[in-house]
Structure 1
Amino acid sequence: MRKLSSIFAFLLVLTVFLAACGGNEQEEQQSTTEDVDQESMEVLEIYTTIFPLEDFANKIGGEFVNVTNLVPVGADAHTFEPTAREMISVAEADAFIYNGAGLEGFVDALVETVDGESIAIVTASEGIDLLDYDHDHNHDEHAHEEEHDHDHNHDEHAHEEEHDHDHNHDEHAHDHDEDPHVWLDPILSITLAENIKNVLIELMPEQEDFFSANFEEVKTELEVIDQEFQAMVDAAEKDTFLVSHAGYGYWEDRYDIVQIGISGISPTNEPSQRQIQDIIELADQYGLEYVMFEQNIPTKIAEVVKGEVGAEALYLHNLEALVQEDVENGEDYFSLMRKNIKALETALQ
């Protein structure tokens, strides 16, 4: 009887063991199948030039895109030049999405290189009414009428801005007939995102509902950013800020605030000694207590102005490119824009 009980116990253990093995084998087969599905899932290879386009493409495309930003972390799209190997990589991709409006000096050569390849070329700013190159400073002329003595300040401010833009426009008219920094306007950024959505649908029509739903989420959040920005401006005491380069014309146009750019619309448009002195005088006149530095713009001249004015440093993020700290912090378009709103809130108090 004891022998029979031992046999039953052995069979019971064996049954449990076999069942466990069978279960593990089934799990391994399921896991293998999932891995195969992941590997076989079609993914679009997308190249972008500036961070907002990279971020929107990732948010809209989700797991169906692999996005590479051609301009590396910390670089400047105005001056970046891709290598021959990078151009070949772009030619083999599904889409190349760039801002346009004269921002990326290398684009014409790249597009010519990939001509004839089966790649979608997308100008993300298509459909946006771009501001003229000198719009941002023409706007200054009426912004201070109520806050300052109009006749005195208007004449001097207009002189400074005309001098600044005659100099910079003559030197760089071939680069910037229009202001390319459209992504800084959250409402205009909806068009950037929509152009990205459209090319993804064109390339992968079976995922139209997925891409469209993700785009709507991006659009809604951009509208919220716009509301938060406007609320900050409405509560501000000042309407003028001093910044390292004049890349914020779209904020002037949307929110009726005024930038005094130390460098021109491109960071390579360095001011003359006379222009630096004019900027210092303007900062004193308008009681500006902060100089706003940017994450990827040289600081040497801005540091001079800061010292002469006796100002404190604040930081704006132009969102054109991330720096390593942004990558480590997991920043995206929305988090960086909210930091900008907070910094401007301080500068305009």
Structure 2
Amino acid sequence: MPRHRPRTTRAALATSVALATTLALGACGSGGTSGGGGAGESAGDGALEVLASFYPLQFVAERVGGDRVEVSNLTPPAAEPHDLELSPAQARSIGTADLVVYQSGFQAAVDEAVDAREPAHLVDATEAAGLEEHPGESSATTDDTADEHADDSHASDTHDHSSDGGLDPHFWLDPTRLIPVAEEVAAELSEVDPDGADEYAANLADLTADLTALDDEFTQGLASCTSPYLVTSHEAFGYLAERYGLEQIGITGIDPEAEPSPARLREVADIIRDHGVSTIFFETLTSPKVTQTLAQDVGVQAAVLDPLEGLSDGGGDYLDVMRANLEALRTGLVCA
């Protein structure tokens, strides 16, 4: 099953990107935000049919593909992508789409369909993004509290739910890690549709400029904060923390549905008190009850931080939500 393109394709794409960058930096990105969940429908007007397995990959595919593609999101809006189940039509469409963009190890149903249908053109974000096991892990947890947590009968519910053999899947919360995924998408689209290679290269350069600018905004915005401790309802923000010099402290681990043990709740409460943390962040798409209760118990604020696994109606696009996250972080971490 062809999953890697030849070096000549990469080289040609790099040349096209270099030629297009000057023009593209001043241009607007192409492609709108699809409603999602409509996989299996045929692309119209001769556009390539692209399937994305969840929202951040949809965003990349739309921006790189522009008007030459029609992108369908396998995960419906406001749905939890971890729990995705595919309809028979969606599973079939994986074998017939012009390009499938997914993340192996993140959504079991998509992995199974990819293995069964063997799409001719495939981009795997797990390979492109350089996933890690524990990005942004906090040093605030002492060996003693870690031992106490390990001995608790429910400890396994909080820290062992990363995908693909222990890798944290939430790479897209570091915008720079979306760039190599976008490069793979542009290369694969150029292979499917050589006539559109220059357009894909220009769109890629434009998206790269937007993501680089967003990265600069986060770097400057989080450069001077009263607290580096990013306390979250679950450990979805490790790549963001690692990129911008923060330390993530998750009430639970990678699995957003896991219940924290009493030992872990005590541990996080102690960290909040000892380090003067003023805000705990909870997420969209999951219940905030545990986070809000803990915040009330220790006398701090609770605020929303969006992990961007899905996109709410009227919520803008990836760039808009990330900028809203930046403002929430600057307020919650008391940044100058």
TM-score for the superposition, normalised by structure 1: 0.76
Is 2:102–2:125's contact at 8 Å kept on the other side of the alignment? yes
Partner of 2:67: 63
Q: How far apart are 1:324 and its partner, in Å?
A: 2.4
CA RMSD of aligned residues (A): 2.5
Match of 2:109 among 106, 109, 127: 106
Q: Which has the higher helix share?
A: 1
Residue identity opposite 2:88 in structure 1: A
Is 1:105–1:175's contact at 8 Å kept on the other side of the alignment? no
SS at structure 1 position matched to 2:222: helix
Partner of 1:314: 303
Structure 1 residues 317-326 or 201-210, which shifts more? 317-326
Q: Map 1:180-329; keep pairs closer than 5 Å.
A: 180-326=169-315
1:336 aligns with 2:325: no
SS at structure 1 position matched to 2:302: strand
Change (3 A) 1:159 1:223: farther
Is 2:158–2:259's contact at 8 Å kept on the other side of the alignment? no
Partner of 2:56: 52
Structure 1 residues 88-97 or 230-239, which shifts more? 88-97
Structure 1 residues 222-231 or 170-179, which shifts more? 170-179
Change (3 A) 1:274 1:230: same
Change (3 A) 1:298 1:162: same
Q: Percent identity among equivalent residues?
A: 31
Q: Deviations over 1:194-247 (max 9, x none)?
A: 111111111111010000001001001111111111112212121012111101
Is 2:53–2:75's contact at 8 Å kept on the other side of the alignment? yes
TM-score for the superposition, normalised by structure 2: 0.79
Q: Deviations over 1:152-193 (max 9, x none)?
A: x74556557767997248854775511111111111111111
Change (3 A) 1:318 1:173: closer
Is 1:264–1:270's contact at 8 Å kept on the other side of the alignment? no
Is 1:183–1:192's contact at 8 Å kept on the other side of the alignment? no
Change (3 A) 1:303 1:175: farther
Residues in 1 aligned to 2:76 and 2:233: alpha-carbon distance in whole angstroms = 21
Q: Map 1:94-133; keep pairs closer than 5 Å.
A: 94-100=98-104, 102-115=105-118, 119-132=120-133
SS at structure 1 position matched to 2:256: coil
Larger radius of gyration: 1
Residues in 2 aligned to 1:335 and 1:208: alpha-carbon distance in whole angstroms = 28
Partner of 2:36: none
Residues in 2 aligned to 1:311 and 1:48: alpha-carbon distance in whole angstroms = 38
Residue identity opposite 2:254 in structure 1: I
Residue identity opposite 1:344 in structure 2: L
Q: How far apart are 1:308 and its partner, in Å?
A: 1.3
SS at structure 2 position matched to 1:261: strand
Is 1:124–1:196's contact at 8 Å kept on the other side of the alignment? no
Q: Deviations over 1:243-295 (max 9, x none)?
A: 11101111232122011111211213321122112112211222222121211
- Return the structure number with greater relative CO, CA threshold 8 A, min gap 6: 2
Residues in 1 aligned to 2:162 and 2:309: alpha-carbon distance in whole angstroms = 21
Residue identity opposite 2:115 in structure 1: E
Is 1:44–1:65's contact at 8 Å kept on the other side of the alignment? yes
Residue identity opposite 1:109 in structure 2: E
1:78 aligns with 2:82: yes
Residue identity opposite 1:246 in structure 2: E
Q: Which runs of no fewer than 5 residues in structure 1 stay unpaired?
A: 1-38, 145-152
Is 2:232–2:250's contact at 8 Å kept on the other side of the alignment? yes
SS at structure 2 position matched to 1:103: coil
Is 2:159–2:252's contact at 8 Å kept on the other side of the alignment? no
Is 1:245–1:266's contact at 8 Å kept on the other side of the alignment? yes
Aligned residues: 291
Residues in 1 aligned to 2:155 and 2:44: alpha-carbon distance in whole angstroms = 57
